[in-house]
Structure 1
Amino acid sequence: MNRYAIALTLASALALGACKKDPPESTPPLPQDTVTTPTPTPGMGGNGAMGGPGSQSHFSQAMSGADTIFFDTDRYNIDSEDAVALRRQAEYLLQHTAARATVEGHADERGTRDYNLALGERRATSAKNYLVSLGVPENRLTVVSYGEERPVATGTNDAAWARNRRSVTVMVTR
């Protein structure tokens, strides 16, 4: 082997070694400017008080867990169980016509950051499109992908990964 072949082999090995991905020791904190509790606004139904119709707390209570759907590895298709949850979400959104929602897409930690962001986007878009197919006006729904950045379960095992492969619908106020 000549020197160039050896140098190329070593450079390739170093480049591939740099791609190794270890799980984080802890998950990063949410950004400080992220609002996780909705702010009451007029026009959200009722008197606009916290927890009124159209608010995140009202939606969460009405959904009883149906605000989240889960996906298989590397998938973004809506199965029959997801369809039931999305029908409940659509019924809520159609009943509360001033409510707006963001559909968040999430992925587990496996794969590159770019791949997981794209997969989260496909998951959120798939859920949004299903809601639109049920009659929810598209202009009341937005999509955001967090990829692997906001896990609900830590750990490098099948149970944690399954909980992180999801789409979550959240109410937003304007």
Structure 2
Amino acid sequence: MLSLLISSLLMLTNCRSKQTKPEDSAATSTTQDDTAVDSTPMSFDPAGSDSGKIEGLQTVHFGFDKSTLNSEARKTIQANVDWMKANAGTKVQIEGHCDNRGSIEYNVALGERRANAVKDYMISLGVAPSRLSTISYGEEKPLESGDNEAAWAQNRRANFVPSAL
């Protein structure tokens, strides 16, 4: 009876699930799905990613849940295209951003659509595609931290930073 009890305990301890180290689980999750979005919240950076933006290129703003370019956005982009033509050696990365409403995954996709809308319009106005790249930060790099319309409006944007391409 005692040997039965001991062998049962040994089997139970050997059957418990293997605990993974944090670094093991992180490696596993990145290999399972290369399109996964890091859902780790980032701390608020008052400078946002605009801290490296190029002097002379203006930020393009978007409406709530929009990636279409309104007339004001088109005027801003036209001014940016004029600047790009005058500075022919400059290559830029267009960063798409969102406010903090919506899921992380949705906002990353929306930020990408915003950056691509700006890029596509700039190409249609004569900027070489090889001078433009895009990235989306979704809601992860806000300029304003408030949960109000004024802050949200500032965070719905596409801005320009130097790129080595």
State TM-score, norm by structure 2: 0.68
Give the match for residue 145 of structure 2. 154
Q: 1:27 aligns with which of 44, 55, 72?
A: 44
**1:46 aligned partner:** none
Paired amino acid for 1:146? Y
Structure with more of its chain in helix, by fraction: 2
Q: CA deviation at 1:171?
A: 2.5
In structure 2, which of residues 59, 65, 72 is the aligned counterpart of residue 68 of structure 1? 59
Aligned to 1:130: 121
TM-score normalised by length of structure 1? 0.64
Deviation (angstroms), 1:169? 1.6
Per the alignment, in what secondary structure is the counterpart of residue 155 of structure 1? coil
Q: What pairs with 1:102-113 in structure 2 (closer than 5 Å)? A: 102-113=93-104
> Which has the larger Rg?
2
User: Per-residue CA shift, 1:34-89, capped at 9, x if unaligned?
Assistant: 9x55xxxxxxxxxxxxxxxxxx6xx41x34xxx20111111011111111110111
Following TM superposition, by how much is the alpha carbon of 1:112 offset from its aligned partner in structure 2, in angstroms? 0.4
Q: Structure 2 unaligned runs (5+)?
A: 1-40
1:119-163 deviation line (CA, Å, top 9, x unaligned): 000000000001001000001100000000000001111111111
Asked whether 1:115 is paired with 2:106, we answer yes
- Mark the CA change 1:158 to 1:29 in structure 2 (over 3 Å): closer, same or farther: closer
- Alpha-carbon contact 2:46-2:143 (below 8 Å) kept: no
Match of 1:140 among 110, 127, 131: 131
Structure 1 gap ranges (5+): 1-23, 38-55
Higher relative contact order (CA 8 A, sep 6+): 2
Please state whether the residue corresponding to 1:153 is helix, strand or coil. coil
Q: How many residues of Structure 1 are paired with residues of Structure 2 in the alignment?
A: 123
CA distance in 1, matches of 2:147, 2:134: 27
Aligned-pair identity in percent equals 39
Whole-angstrom distance in 1 between the partners of 2:82 and 2:148? 35
Find the partner of 1:85 among 46, 65, 76.
Answer: 76
Name the residue aligned to 1:101.
Answer: 92
Instruction: Give the Cα separation in 2 of the matches to 1:106 and 1:145.
Output: 6
SS of equivalent to 1:103: strand
Contact 2:46 2:142 in 1 (8 A): no
